């Protein structure tokens, strides 16, 4: 240990950075919960090898993730999510000609309402069926919808990424220069929701014209010559329209949406929240982080009470499983990142602070790349935003470029993208010969870049820049 601690700060930082990157890369390669667990190895090396005092895991963020995930998983277990999906299908089937524009908006709105992009799995077979039966190249709406579902995460009032970013921006220990008039939650959504929708529109417009029409696609037409392939491509339809969903499932949906609406109102009107005296003697309204946690737990308990749901079903669905993976990832990554960067913040501020201030886009680029490494918007925010605030990145820049936390479309390794490829039986949504030239890369870049540009001008007009 003495050998390592006797090295110059620059050398120590380089070695520690390599250790952290190895943990991130290996954890991302293994996938799932491994990403968070690998943070333990990094912590062990930093503390025992370099005598770096352990930092603090993002406890507020983690507790909010827990509350939001449990509420969303309870919604799915109660059947309320099926009601949302059925409504979405009705909209799409009534307007098949505009599928490539409408489908991305539908999946984005579902994410905004539910807080997770994993709701897209149920919509993909429906989008494919509408596309293939109407002669639309399935790649157009399907790739756009997969990207848009994930882009909507940063615009959701109950997403892990939004509550994480809110908690970090409102943390006085991290954000030494809070923005005047910025209360966090609603003010953040006032930027991210419109900028996200502008990005989704750009994705839809591009996708409308991408690729060859099916009747001019030689590869697709060759598949149709095989009767078995043709049957497979135009096979069984999947639909929720024929199902008469019980009234109790509609009640479940309205309970969940009602909780979201109340949270939004309390965020917009702080005077409706209880007032408490803080440690400095100032009277402040209850924080939005605590408010979100409280009402998400309330939503989950109300769903159990009024729908008579068996609680044992909650932990068995996709939303709960993916949410717990995100929780562990944020725990391990945020703790490891805080431990390493906290001790080197002065040095990094001196070396990187001026660069980021002169070229704000470099912040967005770094956040985008980190998101790809960790395959999570919330984990990217938890790992990089505290560092960015520490080296002097303006909070307004962080808000403006919030959409840059979505970068895991760069390589086609994310579950929703891989699932979309499998759902497209026509073979038009695919991974290219060189891997990087896959169906999602251009829609992803267009969506994120457009959202960041829109977010910049929205933040400028709001006085944050």
**Domain identity same for 45 and 160:** no
**Domain identity same for 230 and 259:** yes
**Domain identity same for 332 and 389:** yes
pLDDT at residue number 207: 95
**Domain identity same for 123 and 49:** no
pLDDT at residue number 360: 82
pLDDT at residue number 189: 92
pLDDT at residue number 159: 81
Task: For residue range 246-294, list pLDDT tens digits in order.
Answer: 999 999 999 988 988 888 788 777 788 898 887 777 787 887 778 888 8
Which of 34, 54, 74 terminates a domain? The answer is: 54
**Domain identity same for 16 and 146:** no
**Domain identity same for 34 and 60:** no
**Domain identity same for 48 and 185:** no
Which of 37, 54, 71 terminates a domain? The answer is: 54
**pLDDT mean across residues, the chain:** 84
Structural domain harbouring 294: 55-462
Say which residues have a Cβ less than 8 Å from residue 123's Cβ, sequence separation at least 6. 85, 88, 89, 103, 106, 107, 110, 145, 149
**Domain identity same for 77 and 18:** no
pLDDT at residue number 461: 92
Instruction: Report the domain count for the chain.
Output: 2
- List the pLDDT tens digit at each of the 465 positions of the chain: 677 777 777 788 888 888 887 887 777 667 667 878 888 898 998 888 888 888 877 777 678 778 877 888 898 899 888 888 888 888 888 888 899 999 999 999 888 887 777 777 778 888 888 898 889 999 999 999 999 999 999 998 878 788 788 888 887 777 667 777 676 778 899 999 999 999 999 999 999 999 999 889 888 899 888 888 888 888 766 667 777 889 999 999 999 889 888 887 887 777 888 988 877 777 878 877 788 888 889 999 999 999 988 888 888 877 787 778 777 877 887 788 778 777 776 776 666 666 777 788 888 988 898 887 767 788 788 878 888 888 788 888 999 999 999 998 887 767 678 778 878 888 898 877 776 788 999 999 999 999 999 999 999 998 887
**Domain identity same for 25 and 158:** no
pLDDT at residue number 100: 95
pLDDT at residue number 402: 94
**Domain identity same for 295 and 364:** yes
**Domain identity same for 208 and 84:** yes
**Domain identity same for 216 and 241:** yes
pLDDT at residue number 400: 94
pLDDT at residue number 150: 93
Q: What percent of the chain has pLDDT over 70?
A: 91
Task: For residue range 55-114, list pLDDT tens digits in order.
Answer: 877 777 678 778 877 888 898 899 888 888 888 888 888 888 899 999 999 999 888 887
């Amino acid at each position: 240990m003495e050998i390592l601690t006797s090295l110059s700060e620059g050398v120590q930082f380089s070695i520690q950075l390599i250790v952290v990157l190895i943990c991130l890369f290996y954890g991302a390669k293994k996938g799932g919960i491994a990403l968070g667990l690998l943070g333990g190895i990094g912590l062990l090396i930093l503390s025992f090898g370099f005598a770096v005092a352990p930092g603090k895991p993002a406890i507020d963020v983690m507790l909010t993730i827990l509350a939001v995930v449990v509420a969303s998983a309870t919604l799915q277990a109660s059947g309320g999510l099926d009601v949302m999906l059925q409504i979405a299908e009705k909209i799409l089937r009534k307007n098949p000609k505009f599928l490539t524009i409408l489908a991305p908006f539908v999946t984005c709105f579902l994410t905004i309402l539910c807080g997770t992009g994993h709701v897209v799995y149920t919509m993909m077979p429906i989008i494919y069926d509408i596309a293939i039966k109407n002669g639309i190249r399935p790649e157009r709406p399907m790739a756009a919808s997969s990207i848009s579902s994930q882009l909507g995460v940063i615009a959701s009032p109950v997403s892990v990424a939004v509550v994480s970013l809110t908690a970090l921006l409102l943390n006085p220990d991290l954000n030494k220069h809070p923005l005047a008039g910025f209360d966090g939650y609603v003010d953040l959504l006032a930027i991210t929701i419109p900028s996200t929708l502008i990005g989704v529109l750009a994705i839809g417009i591009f996708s409308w014209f991408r690729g060859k029409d099916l009747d001019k696609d030689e590869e697709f037409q060759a598949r149709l010559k095989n009767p078995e392939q043709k049957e497979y491509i135009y096979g069984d339809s999947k639909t929720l329209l024929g199902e008469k969903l019980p009234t109790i499932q509609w009640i479940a949906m309205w309970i969940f949406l009602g909780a979201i609406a109340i949270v939004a109102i309390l965020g917009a009107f702080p005077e409706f929240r209880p007032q408490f005296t803080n440690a400095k003697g100032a009277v402040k309204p209850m924080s939005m982080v605590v408010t979100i946690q409280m009402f998400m737990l309330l939503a989950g308990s109300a769903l159990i009470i009024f729908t008579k749901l068996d609680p044992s079903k909650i932990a068995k669905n996709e939303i709960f499983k993916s949410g717990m993976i995100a929780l562990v990832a944020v725990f391990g990554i945020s703790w490891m990142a805080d431990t390493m960067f906290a001790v080197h913040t002065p040095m990094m501020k001196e070396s990187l602070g001026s660069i980021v201030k002169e070229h704000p886009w470099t912040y967005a680029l770094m956040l985008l790349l980190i998101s790809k490494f960790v395959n999570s918007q919330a984990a990217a925010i938890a790992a990089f935003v505290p560092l960015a605030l520490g080296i002097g990145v303006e909070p307004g820049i962080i808000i403006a470029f919030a959409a840059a936390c979505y970068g895991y479309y760069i390589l086609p390794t994310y579950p929703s993208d891989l699932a979309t490829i499998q759902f497209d039986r026509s073979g038009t949504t695919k991974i290219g010969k060189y891997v990087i030239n896959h169906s999602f890369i251009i829609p992803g870049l267009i969506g994120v870049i457009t959202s960041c540009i829109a977010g910049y001008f929205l933040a400028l007009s709001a006085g944050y820049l």
